[in-house]
Amino acid sequence: MHIEDHHGGANASKIYEVEKKFGIKLPESYVKLVSTKNGGYPVPDGFDIPAINDASSVDRFLEIGTGGELDVENVMPLLKGRIPFNMFPIAQDPGGNLVLIGVEGEGKGEVFFWDHEREQDNDPTGKCNISHISDSLEDFMNNLYFV
């Protein structure tokens, strides 16, 4: 697996700034990834979503510190109150759904799928449309396949 069309590595001070701005501590596995490959898309890109017996693909990894449309600082305000406080978006699929990583508590470092089409207004937990994908970012990346 490799990542194409990325922006090089994200600056360590910018990663820290994002953590501080959103009151989170990003898992070391994710920091390691964006420190070398910021944004871009993986080849291969397909992944399974076992909890809902479905599959998807990574269209693009989100970026840190680029100021672009897919920069997490531009994406996070759109997600306020829509994703659980202990999760952070790391990628999007072709349909605008997200891949999230747990940033604290139960599920820290685990990878999840957020399906915007299954979102419900009356879900106080924000978890009705979230499905577990992988126990770690490393497992997620290692299990990507060609679609």
Q: What is the DSSP string of 59-103?
A: SEE-BSSS-STTBHHHHHHHHTTTS-TTEEEEEE-TTS-EEEEE-
pLDDT of residue 122: 76
Whether the link from the prior residue into 44 is cis, omega within 30° of 0, is: yes
Task: Give the residues of the chain that fall short of pLDDT 50.
Answer: none
pLDDT of residue 66: 96
What are the domain boundaries of the chain?
A: 2-142
Residue % of the chain over a pLDDT of 90 = 90
The b/e string for 14-42 (b: 16+ C-beta within 10 A; e otherwise) is bbeebbeebeeebbebbbebbeebbbbeb
Model confidence, pTM: 0.96
Q: Which CATH class is domain 2-142?
A: alpha beta
